[in-house]
Amino acid sequence: MAEVIRAFSWRIHRNMSLSCGDTRDSLKSRKNFLESFRIDYRHLVCAKQAHGSNVKYVGQQEKGSGALDYDSAIPDTDAFITDKPGIPLAVFTADCLPVFLYDPKNPAIGLVHAGWRSTRQEITAKTIEEMIREFKTDPEDLYVDFGPSIRCCCYEVEKKFEEYFPLGLKQRDDKYYLDLVEVNKKQAQEKGVRQERMLDLGLCTSCRGNDFYSFRKEGKDCARLMSVMMLK
């Protein structure tokens, strides 16, 4: 079985973004956080995340894109896939959901930035489709992990979301709450991922403001946590 690194940073690791929040110490913070996984922060592959559903295959050529400055990040992308070892993929979130996909059989990984817009555009389903196409991944072999995000305990949305999400909307006291994990889980399940291979840590970025960043709570100057994934 191939080995993989899957991790996300916490507030204690500080801001990981080069485009949001106070970015002055972000490179140093990335370096410190990634050192514990023996990942060179200069190799990181980052995107200009766009709340869309573009999935990008990355290889040696993309290694280091967006690692040292935001300008060199890969444009208009919200999910990465690779079958190349030693290429650390990263997504940045504060409430949005990071989704980690791992195929141990044909060693390959995918990392997704799933906010509501990308979720509505079925980004997790599309990433799995790309893994099937590029790596001949059998969805039954896939492990899918869900990182920290705002949860339906806190994620109040407008009523019109009923049209966008036939599933995943909860109603409490005339208010509507979205369960991002449920919708993305469903997409994975419909692509053939086994229920017992999906793991949700259940961490709410809004409830746990001491541990994570929450865009909803902190507003436009909010920092970002980083999810990172790499085949060893």
Q: Segment contacting Zn ion (CB under 5 A): 24-32, 34-42, 50-58, 197-205?
A: 197-205
Q: Residue 12 corresponds to which tokens in the numbers above?
A: 């204690």
Please identify which residue in 132, 153, 157, 203 interacts with Zn ion, judged by CB under 5 A. Answer: 153
Q: Which is nearer to Zn ion, 137 or 205 (CB)?
A: 205
Q: Is 149 among the residues that bind Zn ion (CB under 5 A)?
A: no
Q: Which amino acid is at 62?
A: E
Site string for Zn ion, 100-139 (x = CB under 5 A): ----------------------------------------
Secondary structure (3-state) at 12: helix
Smallest distance, Zn ion to C-beta of residue 152, A: 8
108-121: burial string, b at 16+ Cβ within 10 Å, e else: bbbbbbbbbebbbe
Nearest C-alpha neighbor of 226 from the set 3, 51, 70, 6: 6
Nearest C-alpha neighbor of 49 from the set 83, 7, 20, 81: 20
Please identify which residue in 47, 204, 225, 226 interacts with Zn ion, judged by CB under 5 A. Answer: 204
Q: In what order do the strands lie in the sheet with 169-172?
A: 156-157, 175-178, 169-172
Site string for Zn ion, 156-175 (x = CB under 5 A): --------------------
Q: Is 203 among the residues that bind Zn ion (CB under 5 A)?
A: no
Interface with Zn ion (CB under 5 A): 151, 153-154, 204, 206-207
